[in-house]
Structure 1
């Protein structure tokens, strides 16, 4: 299938450029056409020949081969009103067909915890022939607006409609699948039958998550409690909402068990790729270790028919849509070859499974505590110990980032953790104040070693702003002589600290010293949208570390007083990471093993943090 170049009128109907860019990025490499779509719709419609005959007899002109009252001429009027009338004749009345104006909603509104509006909805988007990329993106923008506020919608079905042709579309967390187009005038029987079948599909294909009850307030959700017992949870508050058209679509809620309302828990609801690590199962195994979340339960979400809710849909013989196969996505990388700059696969449709995980602790992001370097440094220290706990349990985290370190509302006594006596350093004040979270990219150390023993590059995922400069360079982690499973993650903790320290809004008006400040360079350098070469970006990160180091010829100056308070520890950690990178390069040239073991790396980083904490006036 090929989509024609942009049409001016269609492009003008796109809600706004920001939504256009967001939807384009979300759908890139995830749009395809299925030759099996229309046959499936015909099968869904069942035996409806009599209904089709009646509709055609009363509403279709056989002589002119046009639908009655259908817009005609060089500048036909809106098609949707007449089309909507036809849907009432052949479709289940419970299914709503909404045009653009009917479907408008504010995607910025809070996630809905008290409504079942839009349970069976098909969104319709008109366009002027020929079908353009912008028409699909415009429909995608309206789908995203419709999908975002409602936690109970698994999939969204849409229709692209011109005065002459109709295309059926399914949107889910794996992307979009389009049908072949039908000429409504030349194929009236197929048009009505497929339209009827599309309504059946929209109503009966687990579109709505029926594990959520809408009859009670707050919303009730069925799941599992500790020891796999059946439980009902009440959703109290949405803590995090990743509003993307496809992908994990992670949402975090505060919940309580209706039978034990005094206990508060945190629920993670997301669509996990079958190719990713089983985060919940990993957490179940490591729960109870210092610096890691406390596991309660997890389960795959199943519909009323007992089937797991996933994105499986006509996945055979898909034909990628050319306009959506070309671009790289640089803020998130996924390297599965020797060179991270090699061309990415043109089309990917992941099998994503609806999953839920319940943990005990609610946490808060570091930025809320930026004005108190002591709190931030202790939190990062405890998260490093969490990383150590995970490593000693046989896993490497591989995605240390700002969002994956959470400060606990109340410190937990270190003695409550199974491994508190085996920690490499004593817990500060004999307590834990923060946890390392999110194990989607975690891998067994043994698997990582086996991959490198075979001379292969492990698949790397993560936000490049926090990934080590070494790991971003070409052929990193392949040379066995310089192997360290934890050094790159330990550098990521430094980048988290740098980002937290320099998170200052740009002043207005912009003062003379802002453009040369560390805050400006980090904000504009780490989170750019125009990164076209990962190796170049890696060397930029080396440059940042050099300017933070004590040996720099052009050291960074901090603009903000609070940022400046983090300066000494950032300098010491930058010196340390640059020195270890130098050791790694020397070992590579000499074909010698990396000279420092992982236990020593942990101790060195922890001691630098502990010295900084002590200098803040707190006794270790």
Structure 2
């Protein structure tokens, strides 16, 4: 193995593993955008059983049209060739995908023609260069610094840019075209929708138009998935297509698709503008910075902000889309607010936005699993940073995990299991804080006081997936989903197990281990660094490479395979050195001793029966053994430094 330079290349922690970022390429190589076929596969998994059809979508957009029926009929007559009954200049198309670009010019003319008439009817004037316009993008990809979103190029975009390359921040909608493959059209369009949501945090829902040579469907993307209109024949239903498209143009420019509680606050003296959030019970909040942002279409789509309260105190604001069937996170947190290792709640509320939509049926033959989600916000103290930000300080990382596990134990004392442990849900405080112990001394599974430190350094956040159990370990409410949490952090038992889960505290304790492994070894080299051949070989032989290969392998929907890969990673060779895997980065070496001591505990717990997870003595043994090892390793690091 080659020796490291005196001043090694600065490593940086990888982003949270529940996003597809850097899922397959070596971190030693220049960062490459994710390929479209990989993105589409991910989107198919994300939208599984959540693509719906509703007759109300077509009706909704037609009702928004500024066109009378007579005007729409006249427009359709001008657009059609009276001899053929088709749209003017509509090309003859074979089944070849290469012919797709022939459709772009006539579709662009159709959209631009309708847009011009929308302006005439709605504003009483002719279009000008200040108006949003439709633009063909077949020669340039969109401006997209987020490489995890891939190289994206919707066929036709609608927005404020009048020249290529266009920006997602300036676009309002898109038109996407495919020949003969609506599954691919839906998956590809969903990758575009994901980018719109990523770049426009105030976007609540996105409307678009999907087309093939014969038919068209209007589409609405929201945090519950995708809703398609009934199919319109482009020639035979041209009147409805024109009216629906005009309604779409008005809809996407309307505030109803936006989160109106987010407003831009101009800053004086040329300083950076800030975003304020209204609707909080304590008054207006001012965003200081974004700590975390999940990239998805369907799901909670969590964003975590550091915000200023009206009294200028800093707090954490979590903004997410909650399944309305689930217990609000604030209700759970109030039971243990401010206890050691857990957040203190200030308040929670909904913005009023919802994904509810009438008369939806499944687009596919499988049953529709489209949940209703509401935009939900919870305000908490204290502020901090995600665990991965402290990767270069192993002592801080281990102490933070120690405190987070104590928070997890506190939840268990109230018969709650967290079920969503990740490196991003462990928040490290800016400075140690005095926190309350668990006051319920009557509980039979009381946490020994000697386990606590004098001050807390971190907390376990994100309690919205927590569930309550009765004393026998039975869930008080039936399971709504198969698994919770990111696959990278799930226990191998949960990944391999089929059917509805019975997730327990042993699974969560194993997730803490995978969060530690991810922070310790999930590293990448800056994309502007070019490695030598020796360094590339060293990387291939490293433990960091094995983490990338076995934990974040991009197959986030292939749970069984991830379980097998994790089992392989837990083999002795991963930690042995010598003939085994050596650390690529010097900091990684400091984490190996604690991992070597923790992973036998994981293996030992798997031999226990499932009922053991609900026995007080087994729970106490599991927590105390884990915390003892962490404390001893923290002391070892302190002695060495």
Contact between 1:364 and 1:406, CA under 8 Å: does it hold in 2? yes
Note the C-alpha offset of 1:316: 2.9
In structure 2, the CA distance between the partners of 1:252 and 1:108, relative to structure 1 (3 Å rule), is farther
Contact between 2:415 and 2:471, CA under 8 Å: does it hold in 1? no
Note the C-alpha offset of 1:533: 6.2
Name the SS of the counterpart of 1:410 in structure 2.
strand
Note the C-alpha offset of 1:367: 3.0
Specify which of 7, 27, 50 is matched with residue 47 of structure 2. 27
Instruction: Please list every run of 5 or more consecutive structure 1 residues that lacks an aligned counterpart in the other structure.
Output: 1-13, 303-308, 323-344
What are the Cα deviations for residues 221-280 of structure 1, in whole angstroms up to 9, with x where unaligned? 2122xxx44x111222222222222222221222213x42x2112211111223444223
For CA contacts below 8 A with separation 6 or more, give which structure has more relative contact order. Answer: 2
What are the Cα deviations for residues 454-511 of structure 1, in whole angstroms up to 9, with x where unaligned? 9x999431223322233444379999xxxx9422222222222222222344875346
Note the C-alpha offset of 1:161: 4.1
Specify which of 216, 236, 240 is matched with residue 166 of structure 1. 216
1:103-502 → structure 2 map (5 Å cutoff): 105-108=142-145, 123-125=173-175, 127=177, 129-130=179-180, 132-161=182-211, 165-202=215-252, 206-214=256-264, 216=266, 217-224=273-280, 228-229=281-282, 231-257=283-309, 259-260=310-311, 262-302=312-352, 309-320=353-364, 347-414=368-435, 416=436, 419=439, 423-426=447-450, 430-446=454-470, 449-451=473-475, 459-474=482-497, 485-502=504-521
Counterpart in 2 of 1:564?
589
CA distance in 2 between counterparts of 1:453 and 1:85 reads 54
2:623 counterpart of 1:602: yes
In structure 2, the CA distance between the partners of 1:371 and 1:419, relative to structure 1 (3 Å rule), is farther
Contact between 1:253 and 1:267, CA under 8 Å: does it hold in 2? yes
TM-score (norm 1): 0.77
CA distance in 2 between counterparts of 1:559 and 1:52 reads 66
Note the C-alpha offset of 1:85: 1.2
Contact between 1:106 and 1:145, CA under 8 Å: does it hold in 2? no
What are the Cα deviations for residues 93-125 of structure 1, in whole angstroms up to 9, with x where unaligned? 589563443997534369xxxx99999975232
Name the SS of the counterpart of 1:407 in structure 2.
strand
CA distance in 2 between counterparts of 1:457 and 1:150 reads 30
Counterpart in 2 of 1:339?
none
Contact between 2:433 and 2:455, CA under 8 Å: does it hold in 1? yes
CA distance in 1 between counterparts of 2:575 and 2:83 reads 86
283-292 or 19-28: which moved more? 19-28
Note the C-alpha offset of 1:163: 6.0
Note the C-alpha offset of 1:574: 1.9
Counterpart in 1 of 2:116?
88
In structure 2, the CA distance between the partners of 1:152 and 1:284, relative to structure 1 (3 Å rule), is same
Name the SS of the counterpart of 1:223 in structure 2.
coil
TM-score (norm 2): 0.74
Paired residues, number? 556
In structure 2, the CA distance between the partners of 1:248 and 1:49, relative to structure 1 (3 Å rule), is same
CA distance in 2 between counterparts of 1:500 and 1:171 reads 33
Counterpart in 1 of 2:128?
none
231-240 or 442-451: which moved more? 442-451
Contact between 1:549 and 1:555, CA under 8 Å: does it hold in 2? yes
Contact between 1:237 and 1:253, CA under 8 Å: does it hold in 2? yes
CA distance in 2 between counterparts of 1:136 and 1:535 reads 27
Name the SS of the counterpart of 1:461 in structure 2.
coil
CA distance in 2 between counterparts of 1:311 and 1:248 reads 12
378-387 or 204-213: which moved more? 204-213
Note the C-alpha offset of 1:599: 2.0
Contact between 1:550 and 1:575, CA under 8 Å: does it hold in 2? no
**Structure 1 vs Structure 2 CA RMSD:** 4.2
What are the Cα deviations for residues 107-149 of structure 1, in whole angstroms up to 9, with x where unaligned? 4369xxxx99999975232536546444444433433333322
Name the SS of the counterpart of 2:260 in structure 1.
coil
What are the Cα deviations for residues 280-307 of structure 1, in whole angstroms up to 9, with x where unaligned? 32123321110111211111112xxxxx
Contact between 2:482 and 2:500, CA under 8 Å: does it hold in 1? no
What are the Cα deviations for residues 154-191 of structure 1, in whole angstroms up to 9, with x where unaligned? 11111124565432111111222222332343334333
Specify which of 518, 522, 525 is matched with residue 503 of structure 1. 522
